[in-house]
Structure 1
Amino acid sequence: MSQKVAVDALRYISVLLLFRFMNSLGTAFSFISNDAVAKIQILENYRCGANGQMYFTVQSMVKYEVDHRLVDLEKRGNHYESGCRTLLRLHRALKWLQLFLEKLRVASDDSKTSVLCSEAYNDSLANYHPWIVRKAAAIAFYMLPSRASFFEIMNMGPSEKVVATLGDALPLISKTYDITQELYNQHCFLDLP
């Protein structure tokens, strides 16, 4: 398998993990889940569109959009929902997921999931959200159950199995994040508006 196809597979797995995880958080997180679904749909539309072959991998998408000046660097142009910008939003959410899942993995069963989630959010997504979104997120986090109850809601088996599964999934999430982070860093896309 080529490296580009492997990266695309990792991205797909990571997006599925993000989506499944978001759905397990319940209705308090529907605003985040709905936003993620909308962004995934934008990317799917590009992938199924007339230039879909250019959106087969993250690398090919970046190259195509850079070469054709389809990335809006100032939030004023016609390409506000470019694939690069849209993926950046999911990329940032993936960092939050990575941090939160790692905290869940190593915490005790009586740990407050709300605290773990808030810490992960404050170390990642909060940096990109306006005050009102940060406050709404804080309220949603407050409604999260304990770690043990949260694992039950995830419906993945006993705590030991969930911890083992997280241990397997986190390296994939990290690798996906790191590859995209490096590519976006090379093109100065980490701060797209």
Structure 2
Amino acid sequence: MCAKPFFFCLLRSSNNILCNRFKMDSAEDKFCLREVLVSFKSCLLNDDKDVLVEHYLTGWKGLVRFMNTLGTVFSFVSKDAVTKIQIMENYLKGDNGERYRTLRSMVEYELSGNLVDLTKRSSHPDSGCRTLLRLHRALRWLQLFLEKLRTSSEDSKTSTLCSEAYNDSLANYHPWLIRKTASVAFFALPTRNTFFEVMNVGSPDVVVEMLGEALPYVSKVYDFTQELYVQRNLLDLP
């Protein structure tokens, strides 16, 4: 771990990615937008009335690969997302894994069993409800950012697009230092075309078309989660 404060480590690493074409170390880790599309499309159950947690996590793994292609710029989100994904996968593999098969069954199980810290973190600091809420908040940011990329012009500043998406979503849950660090790090983001190259599906026109196909499914998953958490008063879990 870098001995210097996270702020300076992030800035130093971010400088190394300017004007570069980003590549992953192996084919297994290579991001592909099509895989994210399939995962989030597969999430939805019963006419969009429930979400399969396993496919949700698979979609998130794809989004983590996307963030990792950009070096450390998004590490303040991707590292936390990896931790949250591991927690949820442990629930799925555990003795009560069937209870965590869908988002609705997880919420009902944890609330009925008093397995959620509703007002302060105490006996259940890593409940499934709280863990998935953190992924849910970050998903909104990526959803907004990718939509801005899709609808922007070729010469649009990705730093501005990303900052706008962040300020409208995830920034509301971050302390000042992280917000400041993020706003500076975003200046190291590559061009729109470089982002599209990272998505590994073809030309910019093909990427725009596929984003137009994928993002509605991401939105449906987000909207269902948001509605369920509103109904059960879970949006402000500590």
Same fold, TM exceeding 0.5?
Answer: yes
How many residues end up aligned between the 2 structures? Answer: 193
Residue by residue, what CA displacement relative to the aligned partner does 1:52-84 show, whole Å, maximum 9, x if unpaired?
111000001000100011111122311111000
Aligned residue number for residue 177 of structure 2: 132
Q: Which residue of 2 aligns with 1:184?
A: 229
Equivalent-residue separation in structure 2 for 1:166 and 1:16 (angstroms): 17
Q: Which runs of 5+ in 1 are unaligned?
A: none
The one-letter code matched in structure 2 to 1:7 is: V
Output the CA distance in 1 between the equivalents of 2:143 and 2:73. Answer: 20
Q: Is the 8 Å Cα contact of residues 66 and 198 (structure 2) preserved in structure 1?
A: no
- Counterpart AA for 2:117: D
Query: Is 2:194 the partner of 1:163?
Result: no
Q: Kindly indicate whether the alpha-carbon contact (under 8 Å) linking 2:77 and 2:138 is maintained by their aligned counterparts in 1.
A: no
User: Bigger CA drift: 174-183 or 144-153?
Assistant: 144-153
Aligned to 1:33: 78
CA distance in 2, matches of 1:73, 1:189: 7
Letter matched to residue 73 of structure 1: L
Distance 1:116 1:63 in 2: 37
Q: Offset of 1:154 from its aligned partner?
A: 3.1
Q: TM-score, normalised by structure 2?
A: 0.76
The 2-side partners of 1:7 and 1:85 are apart by: 16
2:35 maps to none
Q: Please, which of 188, 194, 206 is the counterpart of residue 149 of structure 1?
A: 194
Shift of residue 150, structure 1, vs aligned partner:
1.9
Contact residue 96 and residue 120 of structure 1 kept, 8 A: yes
Partner AA of 1:74 in structure 2: T
Q: Which has the larger radius of gyration?
A: 2
> 1:101 matched to which residue of 2?
146
Q: Does 1:7 align with 2:51?
A: yes
**2:117 and 2:123 in contact (8 A); partners too:** yes
Choose 87-96 or 24-33, whichever is displaced more.
Answer: 24-33
User: Are residue 82 (structure 1) and residue 127 (structure 2) matched?
Assistant: yes
Cα-to-partner distance string for 1:61-109 (whole Å, 9 max, x where unaligned): 0001000111111223111110000000000111111100110000011
SS, match of residue 73 in structure 2: helix
Choose between structure 1 and 2: higher helix proportion. 1
SS at 1:104's partner residue?
A: helix
Q: 1:20 aligns with which of 65, 69, 73?
A: 65
Work out the percentage of aligned pairs sharing the same amino acid: 62
Cα 1:24/1:92, change in 2 over 3 Å? same
Give yes or no for contact 1:10–1:172 (8 Å, CA) kept in 2: no
Report the Cα offset of residue 140 of structure 1. 2.0
Cα drift, residue 132 of structure 1: 0.9
How far apart, CA to CA, are the structure 2 residues paired with 1:25 and 1:79?
Answer: 34
Gaps of 5+ in 2: 1-43
Say whether 1:70 aligns with 2:120: no
Across the aligned residues of Structure 1 and Structure 2, the Cα RMSD in angstroms comes to 1.9
